[in-house]
Chains A and B, each alone.
Chain A
Amino acid sequence: MEKIKIQTVCGFGCGSSLFLRMKIEGILKANGVDATVFCGDVGTCLTNECDAIFISEELSERIKDRASVPVFAVKNFMNTAEVTEKVLSFIQDKQQ
């Protein structure tokens, strides 16, 4: 099975998405899941190939209707419980 690709998105691709990316990488590692996580920005994220997009709630409004992959709106990038729940539910769905 191809490795799962998760894209984290923020306004500019070089800031908060990095934090979210590290958060998700940590969660994947802690749960023994092998996946690639990379950063994108809200302007170009829809053209980047991935299996899911994790994005802040405010920004998600801009893309969710046009995205062809699941979009997970995160209220608080740093809330481990929230991010963990969303990441794991996506992985589980994907693996079924």
Chain B
Amino acid sequence: MDDLIRKENIQIGVDAPSWQDAVRGAGNLLLQAGSITTQYIDEMIAAVVELGPYMVLMPGFALAHAAPSAAVLRDDISLITLKTPVAFGNEENDPVKVVLCICCKDRESHRTTLQRVAMSVMEDGMIDKIAEAKSANGLLALLQNA
């Protein structure tokens, strides 16, 4: 079975003093993977500013993303855990310790992979376990066995 998320797209214990750093950290993995341009990172940050921190979907978990656009070169997903939890401004679900970052070429694409990741992440207690993962392999195992 293919890895749900490429190991290169996973990073543990990222140092992010602010939520923008957290979004950049997750975005940089996609940049390095060649899936987005730096523009997409700016778009994700602008999205939080414009639409509010509703992207903090669950306690401790933020979904960084922006609209499908030319800044997306191909569908991809990255996941980071933060060294220190960071506030995004969402009273209910702050502070964030896990950031899932997605980029889609168009609205319909790559649903199944995203769905599988979303289902795993939505399991009770999964965010806490992910935040405590000590390695990318460990984290991936958690997601794939959910």
Contacts and interface: CB of A to CB of B under 8 A. Distances in A.
Contacts of A16: 54-55, 57, 63
A10 B54 contact: yes
Interface stretch (A28-36, A63-71, A72-80, A84-92): A72-80
Chain B CB count within 10 A is highest, among A18, A19, A56, A77, for A19
Contact of A76 (B65, B68, B93, B118): B93
Contact of B66 (A12, A39, A77): A12
Contacts of B66: 12
Contacts of B65: 12, 14-15
Given A18-B114, A75-B92, A11 B107 contact: no
Interface residues of B, number: 24
Contacts of A56: 54
A51 to B, nearest CB: 21
A78 B58 contact: yes
Contacts of A78: 57-58, 122
A22 interface: yes
Interface in B46-97: 47, 51-52, 54-55, 57-58, 63, 65-68, 92-93
The SS class assigned to the A binding surface is: mixed
A41 B108 CA distance: 12
B145 interface: no
A19 B57 contact: yes
A22 B55 contact: no
Interface of B: 47, 51-52, 54-55, 57-58, 63, 65-68, 92-93, 102, 104, 107, 109, 111, 114-115, 118-119, 122
19 contacts: A11-B51, A11-B67, A12-B66, A13-B107, A15-B55, A15-B102, A16-B55, A19-B57, A22-B115, A22-B118, A39-B107, A58-B52, A58-B54, A75-B92, A77-B54, A77-B57, A78-B57, A78-B58, A78-B122
Interface of A: 10-16, 18-19, 22-23, 39, 41, 56-59, 75-78
